Amino acid sequence: MCGIVGFAGTREAAPVLIDGLRRLEYRGYDSAGVAVSDGAAINVAKVKGYVKNLSDMTHDGADIRGRIGVGHTRWATHGAPNDVNAHPHMSSDGRFAVVHNGIIENYALLRQELTKNGYTFASDTDTEVVAHLLEMYYDGDARRAVMKAASRLEGSYSLGVICADGRLFAVREQSPLILGLGVGENYFASDVAALVPHTKNVIYLDDGEFAELTPDAITVYDVRGRAVEKPVSKVAWDVEAAEKGGYEHFMLKEIMEQPACFKATVEPRIKDGRIEFENFDLTDEELHDINRIIITACGSAGYAGQVGRYVIEELCRVPVSVELASELRYRNPIIDRHTLLVVISQSGETADTIAALRECKARGARVLAIVNVVGSTIAKLADHVIYTWAGPEIAVATTKGYTTQAAVLDMLAIWLADRLGLMEKERYDALVEALHAMPGQIQRAIDLNRGIHRLAKKLCKYNDIYFIGRNLDYAVCMEGALKLKEISYIFAEAYAAGELKHGTIALVEQGSLVVTLACYEPLFDKTMSNIEEVKARGAEVLAVALEGNRKILSKADDVIFVPRTDPLFNPIAQIVPLQLFAYYVAKERGCDIDKPKNLAKSVTVE
Ligand code: BG6
């Protein structure tokens, strides 16, 4: 995934573009570049590495003059990260420069055609074909050239195109692109985080649409080139929300924001003690028509789905399965109109998740999306949407995205069980009460573990770690293990505690660290036995247990305590200290916490 920005105004463009790229750097950071027009020619600066390299190279943009421009920060898909493959890419005649987020799936054929027509390529990227298509189709009308070039592309792309004469275009197809309306200047970006320092008035482009931006106006066109009216939305958060707020890393800030984000996600959906969703409802007939639920997502979103599966099955008695989107999309799945597909995605742009959604929708599934980004592709494709209101999540490793996804799944389970007539009023009221209490419980989970950095210091030397648990604890193990892997690069594996003895325990020995989640009380004694099993083989055990549990102290070498909540919601309290543990272990190991190697915030390519 990459980040693109565009600017049309009366002040110098490059400094504005570079600042915008800094705010999008979580989307990709292996190279960066800008192209600006002074009305006669295009000036380009691009370089491998972070946006900082681009800024240093151009004295923060002061060296390249022009009041209209485009910028790009890259996460490589085609062509290694280097100066040549960095965007923007130029047409041979110097008339056009283009930046791109997504994948042009037919680029090889287009490259062959263009080469045959005498065009020469400087880079290994798919994007460069766009620059030469623009030149090939240009006959004096830049807008028509943009339309014709875009009509030849297959795949997902958001494009920023600048012309030497100063015209600026934005094109969207299955990759996010938002327009910002300023005063005497206008903008576009892959994410509102780059727009909010300038404006909160935005237009979400839809697939197939493109726009021309001048300092005074934005005109949006449909795929056939007809001007269309688009609603102007107001961004609900401000620039501070996308800043670090005094924390050393976005990840720590976002961990600490979780009580507030949980509250922001849940409270607006509880009115007079009843759960109701602003964008989602089903008739009784539609409800009773559902005979199974499939949850699909990638990464941590899928692990939030694992928690949701236990809760929904427990309360609703409907079969629920959790499917990796990258597998579901190719599995020729058995889906029909009786399937409710719950699609979970923080960004709403993950390619595998989008593809799985399309596949299942085409087979008749009803689709409910749980996403954090308004106007995202998944939000638009789904039949129903329940937003998590976590605000912008910048750190690559999700934290508040995960816990607010789990919050929505908990509410969904209660709502569904009630609608299916499976929940007594007392139980419903108790669960709603527990939801109200959760922000405080999350805060207590933080407060109980203010010294967790000392534990991280002690345990950061381990190079392979097992997370074991049963039932809901096992679901939390998956996310706990991934957090550690993502940011500290320690090999960590989540394992069902009852399954360990069937093979993997062969690996457990002196020097192994086993993180044992022991909060699911119905199986506590079984989990205690598992602790004894691994201790007998020399492992060190870090347990996660409910506050006040004294028995655990007799078995575990170290214990992380979490507050007692309704058992079904305990995963949300449990994951918070595990996020902090991963954060401080990564810190001890000197890792780049907000931008872990090889990762991107949302993988919008296969
Ligand atoms: C990964 C992110 O690239 O994609 C994870 O690093 C995330 O944090 C996963 O869980 C899915 O992304 P999304 O945006 O669909 O939730």
Q: What are the phi and psi torsion angles at 544 (to 5°)?
A: -115, 120
- Using pLDDT thresholds of 50, 70 and 90, give the confidence band for residue 30: confident
Query: Which of the following is catalytic: 263, 587, 595, 601?
Result: 601
Kindly tell me if the per-residue pLDDT of 78 is higher than 80.
no
Taking residues 224-232, report their average pLDDT.
96
Instruction: Say whether the peptide bond before residue 15 is cis (omega within 30 degrees of 0).
Output: no
Taking residues 70-93, report their average pLDDT.
90
Kindly tell me if the per-residue pLDDT of 551 is higher than 90.
yes
Task: Say what the pLDDT of residue 236 is.
Answer: 82
214-221, Cβ contacts within 8 angstroms, sequence gap of 24 or more: 214/8, 214/167, 214/168, 214/186, 215/8, 215/9, 215/10, 215/67, 215/68, 215/184, 215/185, 215/186, 216/184, 216/186, 217/186, 218/179, 218/181, 218/186, 220/179, 221/143, 221/147
Q: What is the mean pLDDT of the chain?
A: 95
| C-alpha closest to that of 204 among 241, 240, 158 | 158
Kindly tell me if the per-residue pLDDT of 497 is higher than 90.
yes
Query: Which of the following is catalytic: 2, 163, 316, 360?
Result: 2
Taking residues 582-606, report their average pLDDT.
89
- Using pLDDT thresholds of 50, 70 and 90, give the confidence band for residue 225: very high
* pTM (2 d.p.): 0.78
Task: Say what the pLDDT of residue 175 is.
Answer: 87
- Using pLDDT thresholds of 50, 70 and 90, give the confidence band for residue 28: confident
Residue 418: which residues within 8 A CB-CB, separation 6 or more?
Answer: 275, 428
Paired with 104 in beta bridges are 155
Look at 237-241, 303-307, 493-497, 533-537 and tell me which has the smallest mean pLDDT.
237-241
Task: Say what the pLDDT of residue 376 is.
Answer: 84
Considering Cα of 199, then 202, then 207, then 210, what sign does the dihedral take?
A: negative
C-alpha 300 – ligand 1 centre gap (Å)? 6
C-alpha 2 – ligand 1 centre gap (Å)? 14
Mutation test of ligand 1: which of 26, 77, 175, 398 has the most ligand atoms closer than 8 Å to its C-beta?
A: 398
| C-alpha closest to that of 598 among 3, 28, 25 | 28
Mutation test of ligand 1: which of 602, 604, 606 has the most ligand atoms closer than 8 Å to its C-beta?
A: 602
Please list every protein residue whose CB sits less than 6 Å from any atom of ligand 1: 298-301, 345-347, 350, 353, 396-398, 599-600, 602-603
Residue 526 among the catalytic residues: no
Percent of the chain with pLDDT over 90: 88
Paired with 187 in beta bridges are 7, 180
Taking residues 160-171, report their average pLDDT.
97
Q: Are strands 270-271 and 274-275 parallel, antiparallel or unpaired?
A: antiparallel
* C-alpha torsion angle, residues 244, 250, 255, 259 (rounded to 10): 40
Residue 2 among the catalytic residues: yes
pLDDT (tens digit per residue) in 448-496: 999 999 999 999 999 999 999 999 999 999 999 999 999 999 999 999 9
Percent of the chain with pLDDT over 70: 100
Looking only at Cα atoms, what is the longest distance across the chain? 80
Task: Say what the pLDDT of residue 244 is.
Answer: 73
b (16+ CB within 10 A) / e for 254-263:
bbbbbbbbbb
Mutation test of ligand 1: which of 346, 399, 605 has the most ligand atoms closer than 8 Å to its C-beta?
A: 346
Task: Say what the pLDDT of residue 267 is.
Answer: 92
pLDDT (tens digit per residue) in 112-140: 999 999 999 999 999 999 999 999 999 99
Q: Could you give the CA distance from residue 13 to residue 35 in angstroms, rounded to a whole number?
A: 9
pLDDT (tens digit per residue) in 276-292: 998 789 999 999 999 99
Task: Say what the pLDDT of residue 40 is.
Answer: 94
* E strand or H helix at 285: helix 284-288
DSSP single-letter state for residue 195 = T
pLDDT (tens digit per residue) in 366-414: 999 999 988 789 999 999 999 998 988 889 999 999 999 999 999 999 9
Q: Could you give the CA distance from residue 177 to residue 161 in angstroms, rounded to a whole number?
A: 13
Kindly tell me if the per-residue pLDDT of 228 is higher than 80.
yes
Counting atoms of ligand 1 from 1, which one is nearest the CA of 602?
A: 3
Taking residues 576-603, report their average pLDDT.
93
Domains and CATH numbers, the chain: 3-242 (3.60.20.10), 250-446 (3.40.50.10490), 452-588 (3.40.50.10490)
Task: Say what the pLDDT of residue 79 is.
Answer: 80
- Using pLDDT thresholds of 50, 70 and 90, give the confidence band for residue 237: confident
